[in-house]
Amino acid sequence: MTAQWMLKQMAVEANILEVKLDKEAETVLKNHEWPGNVRELSNVLERTMSAHESSTIHL
């Protein structure tokens, strides 16, 4: 499961257009340890997506 896939699922559930990660943000997410595993990543993505106003999430 990737962050991009999770964002796509969240966008479908929220009935919004596709949300993407830029390469720099994706690299940071991939390199983070994520002690809370998928649940922690999901929470971060949900908060970021809800506070973001464009279709691409930047670092």
What stretches of 1-59 adopt beta strand conformation (E)? 20-21, 56-57
pLDDT at 53: 81
**Ranges of each domain in the chain:** 3-57
Give the model confidence (pLDDT) of 19-57 as tens digits: 888 999 999 998 998 888 889 999 999 898 888 788 888
> For position 3, what pLDDT does the model report?
86
Task: Give the right CATH number for 3-57 from 3.40.50.12280, 2.60.120.460, 1.10.8.60, 3.30.420.40.
Answer: 1.10.8.60
Q: Does residue 57 sit in helix, strand or coil?
A: strand
